[in-house]
Amino acid sequence: MDGRIFQLNCSAGGVPKLPVRASVLTATGLECDRQGHPKIHGGPERALCLYPLELIHRLQAEGHPIYPGSIGENVTTSGLDWAALAPGSRLAIGDEVLIEITNYTAPCKNIARSFIDGQFKRVDQRLRPGDARLYARVLRTGRVEVGQPIRVLDASGEGGSEASR
Residue type, 126: R
Q: What pLDDT was estimated at residue 163?
A: 40
- Domain positions in the chain are 3-164
Q: What pLDDT was estimated at residue 41?
A: 67
Q: What is the pLDDT of residues 43-100, one digit of tens each?
A: 889 999 999 999 999 999 999 999 999 999 999 999 999 999 999 999 999 999 999 9
Q: What pLDDT was estimated at residue 77?
A: 98
pLDDT of 153 over the 80 cut: yes
Beta strands in the chain (DSSP E): 3-10, 18-20, 22-26, 29-30, 48-52, 75-78, 90-93, 97-104, 134-140, 142-145, 149-153
Q: What pLDDT was estimated at residue 164?
A: 38
Reported as a pLDDT band with limits 50, 70 and 90, residue 165 is very low
**H-helix or E-strand containing 59?**
helix 53-61
Q: What is the DSSP letter of 106?
A: P
Q: In Å, what is the CA distance from 152 to each residue of 9, 45, 85, 127, 155?
A: 21, 19, 9, 25, 10
Reported as a pLDDT band with limits 50, 70 and 90, residue 38 is low
CA distance 123 to 37: 20
| Tally of CA atoms within 13 A in the half-sphere of 143 that contains its CB | 4
| CATH fold for the domain made of 3-164 | M1 Pyruvate Kinase; Domain 3 (2.40.33)
